[in-house]
Amino acid sequence: MEWWVSMPKIELHAHLNGSIRDSTLLELARVLGEKGAIVFSDVEHVIMKNDRSLGEVFKLFDLIHILTTDHKTVTRITKEVVEDFASENVVYLELRTTPKKNDSIGMSKQSYMEAVIEGLRAVTAVDIDFVPHKINTQDSLNSIAMNDACDGTRRKKTYVRLLLSIDRRETTEAAIETVKLALEMRGLGVVGIDLSGNPDVGEWNTFLPALKFAQEQGLYITLHCGEVPNRQEVQPMLDFLPQRIGHAIFFEEEEWRQLKTSKIPVEICLTSNIKTESISSIDIHHFVDLYNAKHPLVLCTDDAGVFSTSLSNEYKLASTAFGLGKREMFELARNGIEFIFAGDDVKQYLVGAFDSAAKKLN
Ligand code: 6MZ
């Protein structure tokens, strides 16, 4: 197995409906095609298209949502997405999704999220830890050591935590409803809020009341920030002091300075930025500047399905494009532990898992 696959990894920026297998999407489209709800051949080439502008990506999401938004399918895709990440040694996954309402099929934001949690419970390929509970650190470390001693027999364990996304098309009231739901579902692995959706739509002030409320209530917050040029937004977003931001592409000089001073960790999604042509070529990606400045960074997939990538592939890509070796990439992955939206007990477990993997790194 290649080192970028076998090494433990942490995924902090993955959208559920962007991470679906093509084979599943095609199967769902075929079924809807047979029912006459869509024309399969029209949809097939949209799903299989490889390069899309950012605007086209959001049109694709509207299509994906038509295919996936029923309780049974939401459960299925959650299970598959988590199993896919676990199979490439993602030891900690923060999965984000936009709770959806669809009265015609009796779906509320809450029942959508219950279907997601059902999907986590349905995972059988690995042990999933998604409900926050006090971990006995010594027992965890013993179990890592024991598993190392009898390699091959251990069941893999993946931590999963959930972030509820506010879509930029939503109203203030809808965004507040999502935050309230996140608070109600805290005991079920929901740890924070993400602001995402088409960056050309909506205004920061619309979401601010909901985000402030989330912040006051102690939920973790990550914002898509600077995915398109928007002078009105980047600075207020940085002033808000979210725990992390995603992308950080279109920043002005002063905004870079503010970001670096604030030390807000950045979720970097290389393939997504290149495929949407937000960045024209990987060698000018801001990863390099932030990495050299030792700014907190974490490599992520964004939408592994839509962009035909995987977290392992993102590590391989960064290693090749920026001339970083296996050890540097391992350190980069391990540094991500500091920015996860989970408690010290989970962090300590992950440190143990990385330490144990480091012994096998040659
Ligand atoms: C901004 C994105 C995104 O929530 O239905 N999403 N938002 N920028 C991106 N970069 C390409 N990729 C995905 O997953 C799909 C939703 O995630 C957001 C969009 O709102 C998209 O509809 P869920 O599970």
The least confident of 64-68, 159-163, 212-216, 243-247 is 64-68
- Is residue 16 in contact with ligand 1, taking CB distance under 6 Å? yes
- Sorted by sequence, the CB contacts under 8 Å of residue 132 that are 6+ apart come out as 161, 186, 187, 189, 191, 342, 343
Question: pLDDT value at position 334?
Answer: 98
Residue 53 reports pLDDT greater than 50: yes
Question: pLDDT value at position 86?
Answer: 97
Of the chain, the percentage scoring pLDDT greater than 90 comes to 85
pLDDT digits (tens, 9 = 90+) for 228-279: 999 999 999 999 999 999 999 999 999 999 999 999 999 999 999 999 999 9
- Is residue 112 in contact with ligand 1, taking CB distance under 6 Å? no
Nearest residue to 307 via CA among 98, 116, 64? 64
Q: What separation in Å is there between the alpha carbon of 362 and the centre of ligand 1? A: 38
Nearest residue to 126 via CA among 161, 162, 85? 85
- 3-class DSSP state of 81: helix
Residue 150 reports pLDDT greater than 50: no
CA 140 – CA 116 distance, rounded (Å): 27
Output the furthest CA–CA distance in the chain (Å, rounded).
Answer: 57
Amino acid occupying residue 347: K
Helix (H) or strand (E) holding 34: helix 22-34
Q: What separation in Å is there between the alpha carbon of 135 and the centre of ligand 1? A: 32
- Is residue 309 in contact with ligand 1, taking CB distance under 6 Å? no
Q: Could you tell me the CA-to-CA distances from 56 to 1, 164, 171, 306 in Å, in that order? A: 35, 23, 23, 11
- Sorted by sequence, the CB contacts under 8 Å of residue 286 that are 6+ apart come out as 248, 249, 251, 279
Torsion of CA 177, 60, 228, 301, to 10 degrees: 90
Active-site positions read: 227
Q: Supply the pTM of this predicted model.
A: 0.95
CA 335 – CA 296 distance, rounded (Å): 8
The minimum-distance atom of ligand 1 relative to the CA of 68 is 5
CA 274 – CA 281 distance, rounded (Å): 7
User: In this structure, which residue's CA is closest to atom 14 in ligand 1?
Assistant: 17
Dihedral over Cα of 211, 214, 215, 219: its sign? negative
Interface predicted TM-score of the whole assembly (ipTM), two decimals: 0.99
- Is residue 272 in contact with ligand 1, taking CB distance under 6 Å? yes
DSSP alpha helix (H) spans, the chain = 3-6, 22-34, 40-48, 54-68, 71-87, 109-122, 137-149, 172-184, 204-216, 234-239, 253-262, 270-275, 287-292, 311-322, 326-335, 344-359
Nearest residue to 53 via CA among 272, 276, 281? 276
- Over residues 4-33, the mean pLDDT reads 96
Q: What separation in Å is there between the alpha carbon of 357 and the centre of ligand 1? A: 32
DSSP classification of residue 39: -
Backbone torsions φ then ψ of 69, nearest 5 degrees: -85, 70
- Sorted by sequence, the CB contacts under 8 Å of residue 219 that are 6+ apart come out as 179, 182, 183, 191, 192, 193
The minimum-distance atom of ligand 1 relative to the CA of 15 is 14
- Is residue 15 in contact with ligand 1, taking CB distance under 6 Å? yes
Residue 141 banded pLDDT, cuts 50, 70, 90: low
- Is residue 305 in contact with ligand 1, taking CB distance under 6 Å? no
Backbone torsions φ then ψ of 49, nearest 5 degrees: -60, 140
Backbone torsions φ then ψ of 114, nearest 5 degrees: -65, -35
**DSSP codes, 270-293:** HHHHHHTTSSS-GGG-THHHHHHT
Which of 58, 77, 302 to mutate to test ligand 1, by most ligand atoms within 8 A of the CB atom? 58
Mean model confidence pLDDT for the chain:
93
Q: What separation in Å is there between the alpha carbon of 166 and the centre of ligand 1? A: 10
Which of 20, 52, 60, 61 to mutate to test ligand 1, by most ligand atoms within 8 A of the CB atom? 61
- Is residue 168 in contact with ligand 1, taking CB distance under 6 Å? no
CA atoms within 13 A on the CB side of 14: 29
Q: What separation in Å is there between the alpha carbon of 284 and the centre of ligand 1? A: 24
- Is residue 98 in contact with ligand 1, taking CB distance under 6 Å? yes
Taking residue 111's Cβ as centre, other Cβ atoms within 10 Å add up to 16
Amino acid occupying residue 66: I
CA 203 – CA 208 distance, rounded (Å): 9
Dihedral over Cα of 130, 134, 137, 143: its sign? negative
Copy the structure tokens of residue 153. 């027999």
Question: pLDDT value at position 147?
Answer: 53
Residue 34 banded pLDDT, cuts 50, 70, 90: very high
Residue 1 banded pLDDT, cuts 50, 70, 90: confident
CA geometry: angle at 233 spanning 232 and 239, to 5°?
A: 115
Torsion-angle region of residue 166: left (phi > 0), alpha (psi -120 to 50) or beta?
A: beta
User: In this structure, which residue's CA is closest to atom 6 in ligand 1?
Assistant: 197
- Over residues 66-94, the mean pLDDT reads 97
Residue 178 reports pLDDT greater than 70: yes
Question: pLDDT value at position 148?
Answer: 54
pLDDT digits (tens, 9 = 90+) for 317-350: 999 999 999 999 999 999 999 999 999 999 999 9
DSSP alpha helix (H) spans, 123-252 = 137-149, 172-184, 204-216, 234-239
